[in-house]
A = this chain, B = another copy of it.
Amino acid sequence: MKSGLHFLLAAKCCEIAELQQLTLTAELVDASARLVHELQRERGMSNLYLGSAGQRFGAERLAQVAQTAHAEQALRQHFDQLDTQATQLRQGARLFARIAYVLHGLAALPALRQQVGRGAWLPAQATAAYTRLIAGLLAVIFEAADTASDPAISRLLVGFFNFMQSKELAGQERATGSALFASGQADDAGQQRLTYLIESQERALEVFAQFAPGEAVALWQRSDDPNTRAALERMRRMLGATVAGGALNPELSQRWFDTCTERMEAMKAVEDHLSKDLRALCHQRREHLGQELQALDQVPTSVLPVGLDFFDATPDGSPSPGLPLGTQLQHSVLELVQAQAQRLQAMSAELDTTRASLNERKLVERAKGLLMAQRQLSEAQAHKTLRQLAMNQNRRLVDVAEAVLALADLTTGTVHPHTDAATHK
């Protein structure tokens, strides 16, 4: 019959196995972040190439395609190394489904490049296609962040994901602004989109600053060069303040692109730092758990805690004040069991807090998607609608999102799954 100590050891082994899994995940996140960065560069160059009717960035684009292919190969190798037989992986289903989606996107990449090379697509079309593939890669990282059950690692991943998200929004801002400057005139939809992209970037950066380690946040603050920043803000203001239809200086297109690019390269350096942090943290936690396991292994299995000690400790696992805290072996196993339960409880509480930020994100995204579909709004318009509702009602964005979704459930008469499980396809 298995003893309490046996299950205590098994619990520790579970934690270690999960950390090993997280170490693999950290590598996957790193490789995904690299590919995202190369795709962002390729998207920018494709944009300029198409915008200049193939006159500029021809050679740079081809060089970049080779570099993207390199990052793609590296990520594919990580995918191949994933143990798809290990069907017991936490969230395995969702992670694998995201990867399947990305692989289909990557398979379509050569055809996309052909369209760009032939100048068959408008810049906006090419941008949208690259953006979709990048969104698929970010979803892989989101699943990874949602999977971690070590709170410290989960916090880091949430910070990392939000930083990548803000970088991607910065990339979209670069593309949208480039197109506006290049066209020579301001337009309402473009300006709305820029407002949305800037606001969402800032929100994501706030979450990053809240969850990422202080060092990484400080690095980002240092590397956000004041001159680049001032130049960016000046051009942002031009784009925003010009009345719709008003003239924009097309000459600024290149300068805008370069300034945004400089900022994105600085962001890449922060990503590399976060990635190193993540791997170091996984390693550290792994070592620590290994030591704990060793200590547990040395407890003689013959020592069985019997008697009434169990009922003397306080329910949360801490020994009651009156109890002599000793080195007696009989106590010690019970203490270990209680300490482990307490530690896991505290971890789970920590984790709830971190996950809450991911859940809020999901809710806002879903409410936005719903508004886009139901009212035929752009992402920028849907975002603006939610924000205005929140401001008018003096509520948090996530509360408004929840209300929007609840209302939709009500009006579409969503059926709870347990009542239609039999017929559910």
Contacts and interface: CB of A to CB of B under 8 A. Distances in A.
A16 interface: yes
Interface in A309-327: 309-311, 315-316
Interface string A321-351: 0000000000001100110110010001110
Given A11-B92, A93-B344, A1 B362 contact: no
A236 interface: no
Interface residues of A, number: 98
Interface stretch (A106-114, A180-188, A200-208, A252-260): A106-114
Given A105-B310, A308-B111, A151 B213 contact: no
A416 interface: yes
A384 interface: no
A416 B209 CA distance: 13
B310 A104 contact: yes
Contact of A310 (B11, B107, B152, B421): B107
A96 interface: yes
Contacts of A338: 101
Contacts of A10: 84-85, 87, 92, 96
A410 interface: no
A92 B129 CA distance: 41
B214 A156 contact: no
B337 A306 contact: no
Kindly report how many copies of this chain are found in the complex they form together: 2
Contacts of A421: 152, 281, 284-285
A238 interface: no
A2 interface: yes
A22 to B, nearest CB: 12
A422 B79 CA distance: 31
A135 B214 CA distance: 40
Nearest to A12: B93
A403 to B, nearest CB: 14
B337 A97 contact: yes
Interface in A112-153: 112, 115, 128-129, 132-133, 135, 149, 151-152
- Which interface residue of A10, A214, A288, A422 has the most chain B CB atoms within 10 A? A10
A103 interface: yes
Given A104-B4, A337-B104, A417-B152, A14 B87 contact: yes
Nearest to A349: B366
A315 B100 contact: no
Contacts of A366: 349
Contacts of A310: 104-105, 107-108, 132-133
21 contacts: A2-B84, A4-B99, A4-B100, A4-B104, A10-B85, A10-B87, A11-B92, A17-B92, A88-B90, A91-B149, A97-B340, A98-B341, A100-B341, A105-B310, A152-B418, A152-B424, A155-B418, A156-B418, A288-B424, A316-B373, A352-B363
Interface of A: 1-8, 10-18, 21, 76, 79-80, 84-101, 103-105, 107-108, 110-112, 115, 128-129, 132-133, 135, 149, 151-152, 155-156, 213-214, 281, 284-285, 288, 304-311, 315-316, 333-334, 337-338, 340-341, 344, 348-350, 352, 359, 362-363, 366, 369, 373, 416-419, 421-422, 424
Given A14-B96, A97-B337, A214-B419, 8 more contacts: A6-B84, A8-B96, A18-B88, A97-B341, A107-B304, A108-B305, A108-B306, A155-B416
